[in-house]
């Protein structure tokens, strides 16, 4: 789930780190939203606590999802999963549409992360399609560096994702404490992220939301990508995406231009993240959203003298404004990046098999040690309504409020 961190946003003069825009919907939701108009686009943007920008293009509403047979509970004898199947332990994340809890499956005695979304919020803020996309992507993927979904179910009021629990929390949480890492540590995280993105790209999925907040750390210190609500399925060279979406500071120029974009946007974001990990700062900032976008489109990045020449060379190639000239564009995709001198002597098979020692391993006193999560969330109380939601639908497709093809049992 996307989390909101107070030191990344300011009011009026500057802006949230992330935001969300829907071109098709004229009304903007959320009582805490700040609406403003950008002079260069003359379009209304809504700054929401949800952390994202998203503007639909009509073409992108065409069904381009991965065609796989939907799970059917009617011919499967697996146990029906519902909120009462779990003991609720603690709130570990909060966003505009819901929250994430640490839970324990009662029968299995196993810990999971439970992502809870209120249907009324999802529908009123036009997020249902993104929720479906996240569910579809998580259902179809299986990779060491991507968070695993075990169940998806619903009640009359809420949607539930039961996900792999990563006790190391967000990479963002750790970077906020130490500010930046050295090149060796950054290389470790980059390697695992590259393999995850390469896997997605091979499935013709673009991620579109790479940032430290969406990189989780497991108990051994390895990464897991999470939050696939902004992902796009079915992207090929002949079928590009058109939506203006993502975290603004991480947007590639072609997304800002809205000229169509493909897999290369993920490699631009990889460069942003590498720069941020090495400096503690973002390469592109602005006093306003339009100012930020102008810099993304035209500004050349200034590199600290502490950067090694090989890092500068890699970043320059990832920050190529023209996506067709960007490192990783085209058929070679990740292989072109993996062959760069920065990754010299990397054994990619060892990386994939988790044989490379992480620079950081969470120091956990027990299985429910929550020291790697923001205290702002941990102090929130558990609501009884989350445990005992009314009119549970489970896998009952006859309930009027049931969202079709959402339920899933691994």
313 is catalytic: no
Q: Please state, in angstroms and rounded to a whole number, the distance separating the CA atoms of residues 167 and 5.
A: 19
Chain position carrying tokens 């990754």: 343
Q: CA 360 → CA 97, 107, 288, distances in Å?
A: 31, 33, 36
Instruction: Show the beta-strand stretches assigned E in 119-266.
Output: 149-155, 158-163, 215-217, 223-225, 244-246
Residue 346 CB neighbour total at 10 angstroms:
18
SS3 content of the chain, % helix, strand, coil (to 5): 30, 20, 50
β-bridge mates for residue 54, sequence order: 245
Q: In whole angstroms, what is the distance from residue 50 CA to residue 30 CA?
A: 10
Pairing of strands 244-246, 34-37: unpaired
Residue 189 β-bridge partners: none
| Residues in binding site for ATP | 115
Can you tell me the distance from the alpha carbon of 287 to that of 291, in angstroms, rounded to the nearest whole number? 6
What is the spatial distance between Cα 132 and Cα 65, in angstroms, rounded to a whole number?
10
Q: Token digits for 337?
A: 């990046």
Positive or negative: CA dihedral 96, 101, 105, 111: positive
The whole-angstrom separation of Cα 184 and Cα 36 is: 42
CA distance 192 to 219: 15
Q: Where are the alpha helices (DSSP H) in 141-285?
A: 171-178, 183-202, 253-257, 264-279
Residues making up the binding site = 115
Q: Could you tell me the CA-to-CA distances from 125 to 27, 29, 69, 134, 297 in Å, in that order? A: 9, 6, 28, 16, 29
Backbone φ and ψ of 5, nearest 5°: -115, 125
Extended beta strands in 48-198, E state: 53-55, 86-94, 98-105, 110-118, 149-155, 158-163
Query: Which of 51, 209, 227, 389 does the annotation list as catalytic?
Result: 209
Residues acting as catalytic residues: 209
């Amino acid at each position: 789930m996307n989390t909101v961190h107070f030191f990344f946003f300011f009011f009026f003069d500057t802006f949230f780190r992330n935001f969300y825009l829907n071109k098709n919907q004229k009304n903007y939701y959320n009582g805490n939203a700040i609406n403003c108009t950008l002079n260069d686009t003359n379009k209304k943007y809504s700054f929401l606590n949800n952390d994202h920008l998203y503007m639909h293009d009509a073409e992108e509403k065409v069904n381009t999802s991965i065609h796989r047979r939907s799970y059917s509970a009617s011919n499967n004898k697996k146990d029906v999963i519902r909120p009462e199947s779990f003991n609720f332990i603690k709130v570990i994340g909060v966003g505009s549409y819901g929250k994430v809890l640490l839970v324990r499956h009662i029968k299995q005695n196993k810990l999971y992360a439970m992502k809870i979304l209120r249907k009324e919020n999802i529908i009123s803020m036009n997020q249902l399609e993104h929720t479906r996309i996240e569910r579809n992507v998580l259902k179809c993927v299986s990779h060491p560096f991507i968070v695993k979904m075990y169940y998806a179910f619903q009640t009359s009021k809420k949607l539930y994702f039961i996900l792999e629990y990563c006790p190391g929390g967000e990479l963002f949480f750790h970077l906020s404490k130490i500010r930046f890492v050295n090149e060796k540590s950054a290389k470790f995280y980059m390697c695992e992220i590259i393999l995850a993105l390469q896997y997605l790209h091979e499935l013709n999925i673009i991620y579109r939301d790479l940032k430290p907040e969406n990189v989780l750390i497991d108990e051994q210190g390895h990464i897991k990508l999470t939050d696939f609500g902004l992902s796009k399925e079915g992207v090929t060279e002949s079928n590009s995406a058109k939506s203006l979406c993502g975290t603004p500071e991480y947007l590639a120029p072609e997304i800002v231009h809205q000229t169509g974009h493909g897999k290369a946007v993920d490699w631009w974001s990889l460069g942003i993240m590498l720069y941020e990990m090495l400096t503690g700062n973002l390469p592109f900032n602005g006093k306003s959203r339009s100012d930020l976008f102008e810099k993304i489109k035209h500004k050349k990045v200034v590199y600290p003298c502490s950067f090694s020449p090989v890092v500068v060379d890699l970043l320059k190639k990832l920050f190529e404004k023209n996506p067709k000239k960007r490192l990783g564009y085209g058929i070679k995709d990740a292989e072109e990046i993996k062959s760069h001198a920065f990754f010299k002597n990397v054994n990619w098979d060892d990386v994939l098999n988790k044989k490379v020692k992480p620079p950081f391993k969470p120091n956990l006193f027990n299985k429910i040690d929550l020291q790697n999560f923001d205290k702002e969330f941990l102090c929130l109380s558990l609501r009884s309504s989350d445990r005992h939601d009314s009119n549970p639908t489970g896998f009952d497709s006859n309930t009027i409020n049931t969202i079709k093809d959402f339920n899933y049992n691994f």
